Chain A
Amino acid sequence: MAGLELLSDEGYRVDGRRAGELRKVRARMGVFAKADGSAYIEQGNTKALAVVYGPHEMRGSRSKALHDRALVNCQYSMATFSTGERKRRPHGDRKSSELTLHLKQTFEAAILTQLYPRSQIDIYVQILQADGGNYCACVNAATLATIDAGIPMRDYVCASSAGFIEDTPLADLNYVEEAAGGPQVALALLPKSDQIALLEMNSRLHEDHLEQVIEAASKACKDVYAVLDQVVRDHVHEVTTLLGE
């Protein structure tokens, strides 16, 4: 694409990673005092904040309440300073509403909503810096926040993207790789059971390569899972020692 080499002959990507390598993931849980659960995650240069409230009584129109499970309410927004050009609308455009829907769908599948009938769980996610894989960073942040809020889930939901360039599947795309216009798959996975909570694909990819790319994405999801699990364990350890004193 336009002279830019996304995968060198030696097998390195633009930012020096190998094909299946993730960007550095750093995360913290419990970053806000008022919220029931909150988390901050950095995946390379993509930074996201997630806040979870609930389960609580229905707010707004009660008619939306579901009699057999909890309603998951999501909002995805991007800070106006998150992209190269300043964004005019932080949320409410078509793309953001679509991502909101996807987040909602992912967490409806993962949270044990049937435990809280007639109640509501709010998940608010904001992208502070966008450098590719926004949806994935949001899902990972929201998972940590949900765990922080103590809401029971089937499993961690881990998300990762994958691309396909020169017959090689690439894991965890950054902005440059996304903007090049190659195929990209976003996958939200429950790592223990290998179940796919959400699968999304854009651009063009031959059917024969689909399996490889999904395989690469799920491998990346499992790598993310290892990191997230460690973060949760460290956090719990920290909290218990603080309480112990």
Chain B
Amino acid sequence: MKETPLSNCERRFLLRAVEERKRLDGRQSYDYRNVRISFGADYGCCIVELGRTRVLGQVSCELVSPKLNRATEGILFFNLELSPMAAPAFEPGRQPELLVKLNRLLERCLRNSKCIDTESLCVVAGVKVWQIRVDLHLLNHDGNIIDAASIAAIVALCHFRRPDVSVQGEEVTLYTPEERDPVPLSIHHMPICVSFAFFQQGTYLLVDPSEREERVMDGLLVIAMNKHREICTIQSSGGIMLLKDQVLRCSKITGVKVAEITELIQKALENDRKVRKEGGKFGFAESIPNQKISAFKMERAPVDTNDVEEQAEEIIMKADPPSDFVAKPILRMPGTAQIGEGLENSWGDFEESEREEEEEGNSDDATTSGGQKMETEEINIVSKTKKDDDTIILSDSEEEEVVILEPEETHKKTRTHTTAKQENSSKKAFNKKRKKKRATH
């Protein structure tokens, strides 16, 4: 199934939001989504959630003969799988460009940075070495797969324990976990990828883009770093032109984010170790509450709702009390009905009608002298007669008239006003309305 294209409307909306430095999930430009790590019952199995992007990592090992040119080094193998389970656009059995890119990026991030001591995986030089296989499965795609996958890979590797072996002469003995405790891999450092999305040819920058943001971005920059602030991989992609300063700024941000994530990973690993040692319950079934598995997982909006009620009350206190008049239905002509006067803009009408009065005075003078003005006056008269038909209905709703004509006054005031001099005001309203109509002609 092909990916549903984004409508122009949606695209514009997203780009506009980026321009206004707003994000749909309420994050700031440089904010990372919440990272959640849970471990399976077995060693070397974990699920990493980055917002709603979920990646399952599983490490396995096997004794194999080494590569010819590297007789004393173990083999590391990474495989990221994008199944249609995660998003309908991923087709099974094909290696699209995205997958090649992600897999290579993972390999470069974790293997080329030498974060794992491959020489310690050698059992008998040139004969037997450990092959460590890291399988990563994307379970849900909500953007930024590479960051989630890199975290999942390193967490799974840190969590993994391989069976202990001993070598006596030519013989290799493999011990089951019951005989001897399995041994962890020796890991030198933990490289973690951080992605940056660029918009509008690099004008705007977002950390950890979500799926929607990824679809409208111009380009992506991925920087992998460890907590010692050593860069392990940089990769720019997409047709953007970067400047050196942008790259340097991104590397600074990466340093901060990586420090936070590393701390989180270490905490998660520590927790898991403690639980296992104490013989508590562990594994996915324990660490993932029921509702987290279902698609109906509701996330709380990251808005502070602590003293919302007080705030709301304050606002209500400050605000004007609502007017309590009820619009009456008006019958303009048989077969039509309407409530209130509709969308008649009344603001500034008062001054306008005042001006009208002045002008009228002038024009009255003019009628005696100039013939040209006579014509306009005539038109006015015509409009007046026209108006007369309307006024019958208009006078029905005096209250409303007043509201329209004196917008500066509060509703309360107008109400008392109308009740006191209802007749008077209705007349006034009538007059003013007429004048206003005349002005429009």
Contacts and interface: CB of A to CB of B under 8 A. Distances in A.
Interface of A: 94-95, 97-98, 101, 105, 108-109, 181, 183, 185, 190, 193-208, 210-211, 214-215, 218
Contacts of A101: 97, 100-101, 237
How many B residues are at the interface, by size bracket?
Answer: 35 or more
Contacts of B107: 94
- Among B103, B112, B236, B255, the one with the most A-chain Cβ atoms within 10 Å of its Cβ is B236
A207 B234 contact: no
- Among B100, B103, B251, the one with the most A-chain Cβ atoms within 10 Å of its Cβ is B100
Contacts of B236: 196, 198-200
Main secondary structure of the interface of A (DSSP, over half): mixed
Contact of B100 (A98, A203, A206): A98
Interface string B77-119: 0000000000000000001010011011001100011100000
A145 B234 CA distance: 28
Given A94-B103, A101-B100, A109-B239, A201 B230 contact: no
B244 A214 contact: yes
Given A196-B247, A210-B248, A211-B244, A201 B100 contact: no
Contacts, number: 90
Interface of B: 95, 97, 100-101, 103-104, 107-108, 112-114, 221, 225, 228-244, 247-248, 251-252, 255
B230 A204 contact: yes
Contact of A203 (B232, B235, B251, B255): B232
Contacts of B244: 194, 196, 211, 214-215, 218
Given A109-B241, A181-B114, A206-B231, A214 B247 contact: yes
Contact of B233 (A97, A195, A201): A201
Given A101-B97, A101-B100, A193 B231 contact: no
A72 to B, nearest CB: 9
A200 B234 contact: yes
Contacts of A207: 225, 229-231, 251-252, 255
B239 A108 contact: yes
A94 B97 CA distance: 10
A204 B240 contact: no
B68 to A, nearest CB: 9
Nearest to B241: A195
A185 B103 CA distance: 19
